[in-house]
């Protein structure tokens, strides 16, 4: 009897399982997108700091009249180094 019921309704059962699977997947995607948005919001201050550091390093050519072409000297200057 159960075999007959399953055989007669196999397409309906498969359709129901597919629909349920799509619903669960949709909730997972929504949850993932919220997580990604939260992470990107938390990383924004770091991104702004990195941008300002890159601009400063690119624009720094001389420190106290001395030609300092090296990256370490530029980073040191951009981070407030010096006497």
Q: Which helix (H) or strand (E) holds 17?
A: helix 10-59
62 Cβ neighbours under 8 A, 6+ residues apart: 68
- Is pTM beyond 0.85 here? no
pLDDT value for 64: 66
Give me the chain's average pLDDT, please.
85
**For 26, how many CA atoms within 13 A lie in the half-sphere containing its CB?**
6
Task: Please answer whether residues 55 and 76 qualify as being in contact, where contact means their C-beta atoms are separated by less than 8 angstroms.
Answer: no
pLDDT value for 62: 67
Q: Is the pLDDT of residue 60 over 60?
A: yes
């Amino acid at each position: 009897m159960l075999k007959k019921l399953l055989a007669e309704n196999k397409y309906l059962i498969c359709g129901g399982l597919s629909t349920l699977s799509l619903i669960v997947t949709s909730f997972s995607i929504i949850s993932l997108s919220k997580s990604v948005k939260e992470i990107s919001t938390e990383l924004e201050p770091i991104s702004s700091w990195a941008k300002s550091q890159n601009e400063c390093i690119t624009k720094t050519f001389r420190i106290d009249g001395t030609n300092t072409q090296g990256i370490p000297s530029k980073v040191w200057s951009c981070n407030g180094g010096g006497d």
